Amino acid sequence: MFYADIQSYSSIKGAPQSSSLIAILSQAVFQKNVDTAIFIIESIFRDEHVKFEHPSLLGVSTYPRGQITQGMWNAIIFSDENFESAWAMIQSTSFVDFIITGSNIYYIGKNKTDYVDSQLTKLIATINEGLLWKDSAKKIAFEIGQTTPYHFFYDQFKYLRYLCTSKIVYTNSKPIFYDPKVFDIKLSYSKPDDTVTFFPAVVTQNSCNALGYGGGDRTQKVRVPSKLSNNEVTAARVRECMESMELALLNDGKKGSTLSDPSKKLTLELWIGITSAKRAWLEQLEGYTNILENLAKTFNTVNVYVDGMTSAINSSNPTSKDIEIYNLLVSNLMSVENIKLISLIGFDYKSKIQKCLNIDAFITNGGTSSFVPLRVLKKPGVIHTNSKLMTFPDTYTDVTLITGKDENSTSNEDQAGTLSYSLNWQEILKALKSHLK
């Protein structure tokens, strides 16, 4: 039985300090040592029948007994051969975000906040109701799926090829935004009853971005790893995982598609992103109308790929508000005969990549909207955003970042990135034209 009241635990920032493998792995995650964490996780999953030494009780072997998955959280419960010495490992966006053992909660991948503690309280209640530490020992495997594309790709998918040596990954009811067969890994929708599954996460991308591990100048020459500091080794490995995944998606998208003749440049192929949700460009409808009318005076034809929400694979579920904005844009531009609008709203990522291999440039906001044109296709363009949000920080030589004026101010850092903003469309057009060659 775990304590139901979160206040009954001692809150410890960091990992357990023992010689157990799970404690060493947790220390690597806490220290953002991606290279070491990948090595340990991959070695653990070479065998589906695994026992874990207790993270704080020296010499006590425990076995995975069951799991609880709620939203973006996944709790795996362990106990010894006598169904005692129970402990729990909880994942969200890192391989180990929390460990609960005895009267301690270790905050490893995430910080202690009211929201975090409320989620932990719900998980503990569910664990206690099911007496999960008394189940039979289980085999282990990986499970993929997240509720948002950003966390799906950058907290799980980019690590999958390095961790999943079994070449099979399971999924539950969460959205799958890309098929892992791109890594020669089979996706199964039927997890065996005798198996508990772990997210294929390592260290959350947001932490890597905050420390500069997700950024850096792509033009810098890669140095010999033995001459790098620990932080530089981590930065190099994070970049390797990111760009290897992005290249795999690009190559997969090229299959069966035809690239345009670069000599025929009387036509402009432009990607624009619209949003009806948080962190929106408030003047986007008027702004895009004016930008496209202006471009239509320069080019014989302007093909505009209008991006909005993205569906999970093999499904289409466009957001009605995105469609409303798209229809208004169509209405505004009906009289401009050389502009063609093509909706990508509700398409999955592979379809978007395939349709937009030939784009010349893009305009998107600073969120996940920029994922395909910026990170996968690596096209030039303009990113507009509020004062806080840049989902993919990096050094880009052919991309302009424009910061608008926040609609409202807030002292809450968690809310600051969600603010909508105001921006003059002429500024975006000027920057875009500087990238059109």
Backbone angles phi and psi of 412, in degrees to 5:
-85, 110
What integer pLDDT is reported at residue 279 of this predicted model? 80
Distance of alpha carbon 40 from alpha carbon 33, whole angstroms: 11
Strand order in the sheet with 52-53: 10-13, 104-107, 98-101, 87-91, 73-79, 61-70, 52-53
Rounded Cα–Cα distance for residues 212 and 306 (Å) = 31
- pLDDT given at position 424: 95
> Residue 18 pLDDT more than 80?
yes
Three-state secondary structure readout of the chain: CCCCCHHHCEEEECCCCCCCHHHHHHHHHHCCCHHHHHHHHHHHCCCCCCCEECCCCCCCEEEEEEEEEECCEEEEEEECCCCCCCEEEEECCCCCCEEEECCEEEECCCCCCHHHHHHHHHHHHHHHHHCHHHCCCCEEEEECCCCCHHHHHHHHHHHHHHHCCCCEEECCCCCCCCCHHHHCCEEECCCCCCEEEECCCCCCHHHHHHCCCCCCECCCCCCCHHHCCHHHHHHHHHHHHHHHHHHHHHHHHHCCCCCCCCCCCCEEEEEEECCCCCCCECCHHHHHHHHHHHHHCCCCEEEEEEECCCCCCCCCCCCHHHHHHHHHHHHHCCCCCCEEEEECCCCCHHHHHHHCCCCCEEEEECCHHHHHHHHHCCCCEEEEECCCCCCCCCECCCEEEEECEECCCCCCHHHHCCCCEECCHHHHHHHHHHHCC
* pLDDT at site 228: 39
Asked if 108 contacts 94 with a C-beta cutoff of 8 angstroms, the reply is yes
pLDDT > 70? residue 131: yes
Q: Does residue 74 carry a pLDDT above 60?
A: yes
Evaluated on CA atoms 352, 374, 320, 329, the torsion sign reads: negative
Q: Report whether pLDDT(409) > 70.
A: no
pLDDT tens per residue, range 146-204: 888 999 999 999 999 999 888 899 987 778 999 999 999 999 988 888 999 999 999 98
Residue 61 in this model has a pLDDT that exceeds 50: yes
Mean pLDDT along residues 98-124: 92
Supply the pLDDT for residue 219: 32
pLDDT at residue 89, as a whole number: 96
Quote the pTM value: 0.84
Choose among 81, 88, 90: nearest CA to 63.
81
The arithmetic mean of pLDDT across residues 327-336, rounded, is 95
Portion of the chain with pLDDT greater than 90, in percent: 59
Higher pLDDT among residues 366 and 257, named by residue: 366
Percent of the chain with pLDDT over 70: 89
Mean per-residue pLDDT for 69-81?
Answer: 91
359/212: higher pLDDT: 359
- What pLDDT is attached to residue 415? 55
Q: Which residues of 47-64 are buried (b: 16+ CB within 10 A; e: fewer)?
A: eeeeebbbbbbeebebbb
User: What pLDDT was estimated at residue 417?
Assistant: 58
Q: Is the pLDDT of residue 382 over 80?
A: yes
Long-range contacts from 78-82, C-beta under 8 angstroms, 24+ separation:
78/52, 78/54, 78/133, 79/133, 79/134, 80/54
In Å, how far from its chain's centre is CA 54? Answer: 30
The count of other CB atoms within 10 Å of the CB of residue 155 is 26
CA dist., res. 22 & res. 108, Å (int): 12
Q: Which tokens belong to 249?
A: 């998606």
User: Which candidate, 126, 108, 117, 109, places its Cα nearest to that of 70?
Assistant: 126
What residues contact residue 170 under an 8 Å CB cut-off, 6+ apart? 141, 142, 143, 144, 187, 188, 189, 190, 191, 195, 197
329 Cβ contact partners less than 8 Å away, ≥ 6 residues apart: 274, 285, 288, 289, 306, 341
Contact assessment for residue 79 and residue 136, using Cβ atoms and an 8 Å cutoff = no
Kindly give the interhelix angle for 284-296 and 320-332, rounded to the nearest 10 degrees: 40
- pLDDT, one tens digit per residue, over 204-237 is 888 777 666 555 433 333 333 334 345 666 777 8
Among 376, 369, 377, 348, smallest CA distance to 175 is for: 348
pLDDT value, residue 401: 93
